[in-house]
Copies of this chain bind each other. A is one copy, B any other.
Amino acid sequence: MIKPDRVKGTRDFDADDMLLRRKVVSKIQKIYEKRGFAPLDTPAMEKWEVLSAKGAGGDELLKETYNFKDLGGRMIGLRYDLTVPLIRYISMNSNLAMPFKRYQYGSVWRYEESKKGRYREFYQFDIDTIGSTSMAADAECVATVVEALKALNIGTFKIRINNRKIVEGVLNYLGIKSKGQVEGAMRTVDKIQKLSRDELYKEFKSYKISVEQAEQIINSLSRKGDIKPIVAEMKKDISMNEKITEGLKELEELDSYLEASGVLSECIFDASLVRGLGYYTGNVFEAVLEGKKSGSIAGGGRYDEVIGLFLGKDIPAVGFSIGIERVLDILKAGSKEEPLTEIFVAVVSQDLLPVAIKLSEKLRKKGKNVQFDLMGRNFSNQFKFANRIGAKEVWILGPRDMAKGEVVVKDMQSGKETRKKL
Protein backbone atom coordinates (compact mmCIF):
# COMPACT_ATOMS: atom_id res chain seq x y z
CA MET A 1 0.00 0.00 0.00
CA ILE A 2 1.38 3.37 -1.02
CA LYS A 3 0.38 7.00 -0.73
CA PRO A 4 -0.73 7.56 -4.30
CA ASP A 5 0.40 10.81 -5.84
CA ARG A 6 1.07 12.39 -9.20
CA VAL A 7 4.45 13.46 -10.49
CA LYS A 8 4.94 17.15 -9.64
CA GLY A 9 3.96 19.48 -12.50
CA THR A 10 1.62 16.93 -14.10
CA ARG A 11 -2.18 16.96 -14.14
CA ASP A 12 -5.17 14.70 -14.43
CA PHE A 13 -7.90 15.96 -16.74
CA ASP A 14 -11.42 15.09 -15.58
CA ALA A 15 -14.53 15.02 -17.76
CA ASP A 16 -15.07 18.80 -17.55
CA ASP A 17 -11.46 19.50 -18.53
CA MET A 18 -11.58 16.98 -21.35
CA LEU A 19 -14.86 18.24 -22.81
CA LEU A 20 -13.62 21.85 -22.86
CA ARG A 21 -10.27 20.76 -24.29
CA ARG A 22 -11.92 18.70 -27.01
CA LYS A 23 -14.27 21.53 -27.96
CA VAL A 24 -11.40 24.01 -28.23
CA VAL A 25 -9.02 21.67 -30.04
CA SER A 26 -11.65 20.60 -32.54
CA LYS A 27 -12.62 24.21 -33.32
CA ILE A 28 -9.00 25.16 -33.97
CA GLN A 29 -8.32 21.97 -35.90
CA LYS A 30 -11.18 22.64 -38.29
CA ILE A 31 -9.85 26.11 -39.06
CA TYR A 32 -6.31 24.84 -39.58
CA GLU A 33 -7.51 22.19 -42.00
CA LYS A 34 -9.68 24.62 -43.93
CA ARG A 35 -6.48 26.56 -44.55
CA GLY A 36 -4.53 23.58 -45.80
CA PHE A 37 -2.64 22.61 -42.66
CA ALA A 38 -2.74 18.83 -42.30
CA PRO A 39 -2.44 16.89 -39.05
CA LEU A 40 0.83 15.21 -38.08
CA ASP A 41 1.70 13.30 -34.95
CA THR A 42 5.14 12.22 -33.79
CA PRO A 43 6.27 10.08 -30.85
CA ALA A 44 6.90 11.38 -27.34
CA MET A 45 10.33 9.75 -27.36
CA GLU A 46 13.07 11.04 -29.66
CA LYS A 47 16.70 10.01 -29.91
CA TRP A 48 18.92 12.20 -27.78
CA GLU A 49 21.14 12.96 -30.77
CA VAL A 50 18.09 14.45 -32.52
CA LEU A 51 16.97 16.55 -29.55
CA SER A 52 20.49 17.81 -28.94
CA ALA A 53 21.47 18.39 -32.57
CA LYS A 54 22.84 21.75 -33.65
CA GLY A 55 19.90 23.92 -34.68
CA ALA A 56 17.55 22.19 -32.28
CA GLY A 57 16.39 23.66 -28.97
CA GLY A 58 19.78 24.58 -27.56
CA ASP A 59 21.54 24.19 -24.23
CA GLU A 60 18.95 25.92 -22.06
CA LEU A 61 16.17 23.61 -23.20
CA LEU A 62 18.37 20.52 -23.02
CA LYS A 63 19.00 21.22 -19.35
CA GLU A 64 15.25 20.89 -18.83
CA THR A 65 14.84 17.81 -21.01
CA TYR A 66 13.91 14.43 -19.53
CA ASN A 67 16.35 11.85 -20.77
CA PHE A 68 17.25 8.26 -20.04
CA LYS A 69 18.95 5.22 -21.45
CA ASP A 70 16.55 2.62 -22.80
CA LEU A 71 17.12 -1.00 -21.85
CA GLY A 72 19.33 -1.36 -24.92
CA GLY A 73 21.60 1.42 -23.65
CA ARG A 74 20.57 4.06 -26.20
CA MET A 75 20.04 7.66 -25.06
CA ILE A 76 16.45 8.81 -25.45
CA GLY A 77 14.66 12.00 -24.46
CA LEU A 78 11.07 13.19 -24.18
CA ARG A 79 10.36 15.90 -26.76
CA TYR A 80 10.49 19.45 -25.35
CA ASP A 81 8.70 20.99 -28.32
CA LEU A 82 6.98 20.00 -31.59
CA THR A 83 9.41 21.80 -33.91
CA VAL A 84 12.39 19.48 -33.57
CA PRO A 85 10.25 16.38 -34.27
CA LEU A 86 8.83 18.22 -37.31
CA ILE A 87 12.31 18.91 -38.64
CA ARG A 88 13.31 15.28 -37.98
CA TYR A 89 10.17 14.18 -39.87
CA ILE A 90 10.94 16.42 -42.84
CA SER A 91 14.48 15.17 -43.03
CA MET A 92 13.30 11.55 -43.05
CA ASN A 93 10.70 12.20 -45.78
CA SER A 94 12.60 13.91 -48.54
CA ASN A 95 9.83 13.56 -51.11
CA LEU A 96 7.19 15.63 -49.32
CA ALA A 97 5.25 18.03 -51.54
CA MET A 98 6.37 21.58 -50.78
CA PRO A 99 5.12 23.71 -49.13
CA PHE A 100 4.57 21.21 -46.35
CA LYS A 101 1.90 22.67 -44.10
CA ARG A 102 1.18 20.76 -40.95
CA TYR A 103 -0.37 21.28 -37.55
CA GLN A 104 0.34 19.27 -34.44
CA TYR A 105 -1.40 19.15 -31.08
CA GLY A 106 0.54 17.20 -28.53
CA SER A 107 2.19 17.14 -25.15
CA VAL A 108 5.77 18.12 -24.49
CA TRP A 109 7.86 17.68 -21.37
CA ARG A 110 10.14 20.14 -19.61
CA TYR A 111 11.64 19.94 -16.18
CA GLU A 112 10.79 23.53 -15.21
CA GLU A 113 10.26 25.19 -11.86
CA SER A 114 6.73 24.11 -11.07
CA LYS A 115 4.51 27.11 -10.33
CA LYS A 116 0.99 28.21 -11.25
CA GLY A 117 0.52 27.96 -14.99
CA ARG A 118 3.83 26.12 -15.46
CA TYR A 119 3.63 22.41 -16.01
CA ARG A 120 6.25 19.76 -16.62
CA GLU A 121 3.93 17.96 -19.02
CA PHE A 122 1.88 20.32 -21.16
CA TYR A 123 0.37 20.69 -24.60
CA GLN A 124 1.49 22.71 -27.59
CA PHE A 125 -0.56 23.45 -30.70
CA ASP A 126 1.57 24.50 -33.66
CA ILE A 127 1.14 25.35 -37.30
CA ASP A 128 4.16 25.54 -39.59
CA THR A 129 4.67 26.08 -43.31
CA ILE A 130 7.87 24.53 -44.55
CA GLY A 131 9.58 25.26 -47.85
CA SER A 132 8.14 28.68 -48.72
CA THR A 133 9.98 32.02 -48.57
CA SER A 134 6.84 33.93 -49.54
CA MET A 135 5.51 36.55 -47.14
CA ALA A 136 2.10 35.13 -48.11
CA ALA A 137 3.02 32.12 -45.95
CA ASP A 138 3.70 34.42 -42.98
CA ALA A 139 0.42 36.24 -43.61
CA GLU A 140 -1.43 32.93 -43.81
CA CYS A 141 -0.08 31.87 -40.41
CA VAL A 142 -1.23 35.16 -38.92
CA ALA A 143 -4.66 34.99 -40.57
CA THR A 144 -5.08 31.39 -39.41
CA VAL A 145 -4.36 32.21 -35.78
CA VAL A 146 -6.61 35.29 -35.98
CA GLU A 147 -9.50 33.16 -37.21
CA ALA A 148 -8.84 30.54 -34.52
CA LEU A 149 -8.70 33.03 -31.65
CA LYS A 150 -11.85 34.74 -32.92
CA ALA A 151 -13.68 31.43 -33.09
CA LEU A 152 -12.78 30.77 -29.44
CA ASN A 153 -14.38 34.03 -28.26
CA ILE A 154 -11.44 34.61 -25.99
CA GLY A 155 -11.75 38.42 -25.97
CA THR A 156 -10.30 41.30 -28.00
CA PHE A 157 -6.75 40.61 -29.06
CA LYS A 158 -4.04 42.05 -31.25
CA ILE A 159 -1.28 40.35 -33.21
CA ARG A 160 1.92 42.27 -32.54
CA ILE A 161 4.22 42.06 -35.54
CA ASN A 162 7.82 42.98 -36.16
CA ASN A 163 10.73 41.94 -38.35
CA ARG A 164 13.96 40.89 -36.66
CA LYS A 165 16.01 42.19 -39.60
CA ILE A 166 15.03 45.74 -38.68
CA VAL A 167 16.13 45.28 -35.07
CA GLU A 168 19.41 43.67 -36.10
CA GLY A 169 19.91 46.29 -38.80
CA VAL A 170 19.52 49.14 -36.33
CA LEU A 171 21.93 47.49 -33.89
CA ASN A 172 24.46 46.75 -36.64
CA TYR A 173 24.22 50.32 -37.91
CA LEU A 174 25.25 51.53 -34.45
CA GLY A 175 28.26 49.21 -34.49
CA ILE A 176 26.71 46.54 -32.27
CA LYS A 177 27.74 43.39 -34.09
CA SER A 178 29.17 40.72 -31.80
CA LYS A 179 26.80 37.83 -31.13
CA GLY A 180 26.75 38.36 -27.37
CA GLN A 181 26.12 42.09 -27.61
CA VAL A 182 23.40 41.70 -30.26
CA GLU A 183 21.59 39.01 -28.30
CA GLY A 184 21.78 40.97 -25.07
CA ALA A 185 20.61 44.16 -26.75
CA MET A 186 17.71 42.29 -28.37
CA ARG A 187 16.53 41.07 -24.97
CA THR A 188 16.43 44.69 -23.81
CA VAL A 189 14.79 45.94 -27.02
CA ASP A 190 11.96 43.50 -26.24
CA LYS A 191 11.33 45.47 -23.02
CA ILE A 192 11.18 48.94 -24.62
CA GLN A 193 7.40 49.13 -24.12
CA LYS A 194 7.62 47.89 -20.53
CA LEU A 195 10.57 49.59 -18.80
CA SER A 196 11.41 53.26 -18.14
CA ARG A 197 14.15 55.00 -20.13
CA ASP A 198 16.53 54.86 -17.16
CA GLU A 199 15.94 51.18 -16.66
CA LEU A 200 16.57 50.58 -20.35
CA TYR A 201 19.80 52.61 -20.32
CA LYS A 202 20.98 50.55 -17.39
CA GLU A 203 20.21 47.25 -19.09
CA PHE A 204 21.85 48.34 -22.35
CA LYS A 205 24.88 49.47 -20.36
CA SER A 206 25.34 45.94 -19.05
CA TYR A 207 25.95 44.91 -22.67
CA LYS A 208 28.50 47.76 -23.10
CA ILE A 209 26.01 49.90 -25.04
CA SER A 210 26.40 53.63 -24.37
CA VAL A 211 23.54 55.96 -23.43
CA GLU A 212 23.90 57.66 -26.86
CA GLN A 213 23.58 54.33 -28.66
CA ALA A 214 20.74 53.28 -26.37
CA GLU A 215 18.91 56.51 -27.10
CA GLN A 216 19.12 55.93 -30.83
CA ILE A 217 17.97 52.30 -30.44
CA ILE A 218 14.99 53.35 -28.34
CA ASN A 219 14.03 56.21 -30.66
CA SER A 220 14.22 53.96 -33.71
CA LEU A 221 12.39 50.98 -32.22
CA SER A 222 9.68 52.54 -30.04
CA ARG A 223 7.31 52.90 -32.97
CA LYS A 224 3.97 51.19 -32.75
CA GLY A 225 0.83 51.25 -34.91
CA ASP A 226 -0.44 50.32 -38.36
CA ILE A 227 2.23 48.69 -40.50
CA LYS A 228 2.08 50.82 -43.67
CA PRO A 229 2.38 54.36 -42.19
CA ILE A 230 5.10 53.30 -39.74
CA VAL A 231 7.16 51.61 -42.44
CA ALA A 232 6.88 54.85 -44.46
CA GLU A 233 7.92 56.88 -41.41
CA MET A 234 10.91 54.65 -40.71
CA LYS A 235 12.05 54.79 -44.31
CA LYS A 236 12.12 58.56 -43.96
CA ASP A 237 13.62 58.89 -40.46
CA ILE A 238 16.09 56.04 -40.06
CA SER A 239 19.46 55.66 -41.74
CA MET A 240 19.14 52.58 -43.91
CA ASN A 241 21.39 49.60 -44.27
CA GLU A 242 20.74 46.41 -46.20
CA LYS A 243 19.13 44.58 -43.29
CA ILE A 244 16.75 47.38 -42.40
CA THR A 245 15.75 47.83 -46.04
CA GLU A 246 15.09 44.13 -46.38
CA GLY A 247 13.08 43.97 -43.15
CA LEU A 248 10.92 46.91 -44.14
CA LYS A 249 10.33 45.45 -47.60
CA GLU A 250 9.24 42.14 -46.06
CA LEU A 251 6.85 43.98 -43.76
CA GLU A 252 5.34 45.88 -46.69
CA GLU A 253 4.75 42.63 -48.54
CA LEU A 254 3.35 41.00 -45.43
CA ASP A 255 1.03 43.98 -45.01
CA SER A 256 -0.42 43.57 -48.50
CA TYR A 257 -1.18 39.89 -47.87
CA LEU A 258 -2.62 40.58 -44.43
CA GLU A 259 -4.90 43.13 -46.05
CA ALA A 260 -6.01 40.60 -48.69
CA SER A 261 -6.70 38.13 -45.85
CA GLY A 262 -8.89 40.69 -44.12
CA VAL A 263 -7.01 40.63 -40.80
CA LEU A 264 -5.20 43.97 -40.91
CA SER A 265 -7.37 45.46 -38.17
CA GLU A 266 -6.20 42.74 -35.75
CA CYS A 267 -2.52 43.44 -36.47
CA ILE A 268 -0.22 46.05 -34.99
CA PHE A 269 3.39 46.77 -35.89
CA ASP A 270 5.59 47.00 -32.79
CA ALA A 271 9.23 47.69 -33.69
CA SER A 272 10.42 46.54 -30.26
CA LEU A 273 9.02 43.00 -30.50
CA VAL A 274 11.81 40.41 -30.50
CA ARG A 275 10.36 37.23 -28.88
CA GLY A 276 12.52 35.04 -26.69
CA LEU A 277 13.56 32.24 -28.99
CA GLY A 278 16.92 32.76 -30.59
CA TYR A 279 16.18 31.19 -33.92
CA TYR A 280 13.84 33.67 -35.64
CA THR A 281 15.30 35.31 -38.72
CA GLY A 282 12.53 37.56 -40.14
CA ASN A 283 8.99 38.37 -39.12
CA VAL A 284 7.96 37.67 -35.54
CA PHE A 285 4.38 37.53 -34.26
CA GLU A 286 2.73 37.51 -30.88
CA ALA A 287 -0.95 37.49 -29.93
CA VAL A 288 -1.91 39.44 -26.80
CA LEU A 289 -5.29 39.95 -25.18
CA GLU A 290 -6.22 43.60 -24.81
CA GLY A 291 -6.60 45.03 -21.34
CA LYS A 292 -5.24 41.90 -19.69
CA LYS A 293 -1.85 41.25 -18.18
CA SER A 294 -1.94 37.63 -19.29
CA GLY A 295 1.15 37.82 -21.49
CA SER A 296 1.06 36.42 -24.99
CA ILE A 297 -1.42 33.69 -25.95
CA ALA A 298 0.33 32.80 -29.23
CA GLY A 299 3.76 33.33 -30.68
CA GLY A 300 5.69 32.59 -33.82
CA GLY A 301 7.74 33.83 -36.70
CA ARG A 302 10.02 32.95 -39.57
CA TYR A 303 13.01 30.70 -38.98
CA ASP A 304 14.79 30.23 -42.30
CA GLU A 305 18.11 29.04 -40.90
CA VAL A 306 17.18 26.42 -38.30
CA ILE A 307 16.46 23.51 -40.58
CA GLY A 308 19.68 24.20 -42.49
CA LEU A 309 21.74 23.97 -39.29
CA PHE A 310 20.01 20.72 -38.51
CA LEU A 311 19.98 19.15 -41.95
CA GLY A 312 22.89 20.80 -43.71
CA LYS A 313 20.43 21.96 -46.38
CA ASP A 314 18.57 25.26 -46.17
CA ILE A 315 14.78 25.04 -46.00
CA PRO A 316 12.76 28.16 -45.19
CA ALA A 317 10.03 27.92 -42.57
CA VAL A 318 7.47 29.97 -40.71
CA GLY A 319 5.22 28.97 -37.82
CA PHE A 320 2.75 30.18 -35.24
CA SER A 321 1.96 28.38 -32.01
CA ILE A 322 -1.13 28.92 -29.87
CA GLY A 323 -0.39 28.83 -26.14
CA ILE A 324 -3.13 26.29 -25.70
CA GLU A 325 -2.68 25.81 -21.94
CA ARG A 326 -3.04 29.53 -21.31
CA VAL A 327 -5.99 29.75 -23.69
CA LEU A 328 -7.69 26.85 -21.89
CA ASP A 329 -7.06 28.43 -18.49
CA ILE A 330 -8.72 31.64 -19.68
CA LEU A 331 -11.68 29.85 -21.27
CA LYS A 332 -12.12 27.53 -18.30
CA ALA A 333 -12.51 30.48 -15.94
CA GLY A 334 -15.59 31.56 -17.87
CA SER A 335 -17.34 28.28 -18.55
CA LYS A 336 -18.80 25.13 -17.10
CA GLU A 337 -19.32 22.13 -19.37
CA GLU A 338 -22.78 20.56 -19.67
CA PRO A 339 -23.01 17.21 -17.83
CA LEU A 340 -22.81 14.28 -20.24
CA THR A 341 -25.74 12.27 -18.88
CA GLU A 342 -29.14 13.41 -20.10
CA ILE A 343 -31.38 10.66 -18.76
CA PHE A 344 -31.13 8.40 -15.73
CA VAL A 345 -33.51 5.43 -15.75
CA ALA A 346 -34.52 4.65 -12.16
CA VAL A 347 -36.20 1.44 -11.01
CA VAL A 348 -38.61 1.12 -8.10
CA SER A 349 -37.27 -2.39 -7.47
CA GLN A 350 -34.12 -4.13 -8.69
CA ASP A 351 -35.98 -6.92 -10.51
CA LEU A 352 -36.93 -4.26 -13.08
CA LEU A 353 -33.27 -3.72 -14.04
CA PRO A 354 -33.54 -5.70 -17.33
CA VAL A 355 -36.48 -3.46 -18.30
CA ALA A 356 -34.37 -0.40 -17.44
CA ILE A 357 -31.57 -1.72 -19.63
CA LYS A 358 -33.96 -2.32 -22.54
CA LEU A 359 -35.38 1.18 -22.21
CA SER A 360 -31.86 2.67 -21.96
CA GLU A 361 -30.80 0.89 -25.15
CA LYS A 362 -33.87 2.28 -26.93
CA LEU A 363 -33.12 5.83 -25.81
CA ARG A 364 -29.42 5.50 -26.68
CA LYS A 365 -30.38 4.39 -30.18
CA LYS A 366 -32.10 7.77 -30.46
CA GLY A 367 -28.77 9.40 -29.54
CA LYS A 368 -29.53 10.11 -25.88
CA ASN A 369 -26.86 9.82 -23.17
CA VAL A 370 -28.42 7.41 -20.69
CA GLN A 371 -27.42 5.67 -17.47
CA PHE A 372 -29.20 3.28 -15.11
CA ASP A 373 -28.52 1.94 -11.64
CA LEU A 374 -25.46 -0.31 -11.27
CA MET A 375 -25.24 -0.14 -7.49
CA GLY A 376 -28.41 -1.97 -6.39
CA ARG A 377 -29.50 1.30 -4.76
CA ASN A 378 -32.94 1.97 -3.35
CA PHE A 379 -35.15 4.40 -5.18
CA SER A 380 -34.23 7.53 -3.24
CA ASN A 381 -30.49 6.89 -3.55
CA GLN A 382 -30.87 6.41 -7.30
CA PHE A 383 -32.37 9.90 -7.39
CA LYS A 384 -29.52 11.32 -5.35
CA PHE A 385 -27.03 9.82 -7.82
CA ALA A 386 -28.98 11.12 -10.83
CA ASN A 387 -28.91 14.54 -9.25
CA ARG A 388 -25.20 14.34 -8.50
CA ILE A 389 -24.22 13.48 -12.08
CA GLY A 390 -26.45 16.29 -13.37
CA ALA A 391 -28.96 14.16 -15.30
CA LYS A 392 -31.63 16.39 -16.86
CA GLU A 393 -34.42 13.82 -16.61
CA VAL A 394 -35.13 10.75 -14.52
CA TRP A 395 -37.35 8.14 -16.13
CA ILE A 396 -39.05 6.12 -13.40
CA LEU A 397 -39.93 2.46 -13.94
CA GLY A 398 -42.53 1.18 -11.46
CA PRO A 399 -44.79 -1.89 -11.71
CA ARG A 400 -48.07 0.01 -11.66
CA ASP A 401 -47.13 2.46 -14.43
CA MET A 402 -45.58 -0.32 -16.44
CA ALA A 403 -48.83 -2.31 -16.22
CA LYS A 404 -50.41 0.65 -18.02
CA GLY A 405 -47.49 0.67 -20.49
CA GLU A 406 -46.30 3.97 -19.09
CA VAL A 407 -43.24 5.56 -17.55
CA VAL A 408 -43.06 8.71 -15.41
CA VAL A 409 -40.52 11.27 -16.59
CA LYS A 410 -39.29 13.77 -14.02
CA ASP A 411 -37.62 16.97 -15.16
CA MET A 412 -34.83 17.46 -12.62
CA GLN A 413 -34.70 21.23 -13.03
CA SER A 414 -38.40 22.07 -12.73
CA GLY A 415 -39.41 19.01 -10.72
CA LYS A 416 -42.34 18.57 -13.10
CA GLU A 417 -43.51 15.02 -13.83
CA THR A 418 -45.08 13.86 -17.07
CA ARG A 419 -46.13 10.45 -18.37
CA LYS A 420 -44.87 8.80 -21.51
CA LYS A 421 -45.91 5.60 -23.30
CA LEU A 422 -43.25 2.93 -22.95
Contact = CB atoms under 8 A, between A and B. Distances in A.
A213 interface: no
A21 B35 CA distance: 21
A45 B121 contact: yes
Interface stretch (A175-183, A290-298, A353-361, A400-408): A353-361
A379 interface: no
B4 A36 contact: no
Contacts of A257: 353-354, 357
A53 interface: yes
Residue among A17, A102, A364 having the largest count of chain B Cβ atoms under 10 Å: A364
Name the residue in A2, A17, A132 with the highest tally of chain B Cβ atoms < 10 Å from its Cβ. A2
A157 interface: no
A34 B369 contact: yes
Given A2-B53, A353-B136, A109 B40 contact: no
Nearest to A391: B36
A65 to B, nearest CB: 9
Contacts of A372: 136
Contacts of A369: 33-36
Helix, strand, loop or mixed for chain A's interface? mixed
A375 interface: yes
A34 B91 contact: no
Interface stretch (A158-166, A198-206, A224-232, A259-267): A259-267
Contacts of A47: 5-7
A49 interface: yes
A279 interface: no
A39 B66 CA distance: 28
Contact of A40 (B14, B89, B121, B389): B14
Contact of A97 (B43, B376, B389): B389
Given A33-B369, A261-B357, A374-B140, A1 B43 contact: no
Interface stretch (A68-76, A238-246, A268-276): A68-76
A410 interface: no
Interface of A: 1-2, 4-7, 10-15, 17-19, 22, 33-36, 38-47, 49-50, 53-54, 64, 66-68, 70-72, 74, 76, 78, 87-89, 91-92, 97-99, 101-102, 107, 109, 111, 120-121, 129, 131-134, 136-137, 139-140, 143, 256-257, 259-262, 310-312, 340-341, 353-355, 357-358, 361, 364, 367-372, 374-376, 385, 388-389
13 contacts: A4-B311, A12-B92, A15-B38, A15-B39, A15-B40, A17-B41, A22-B39, A45-B121, A66-B70, A129-B374, A257-B354, A260-B354, A262-B361
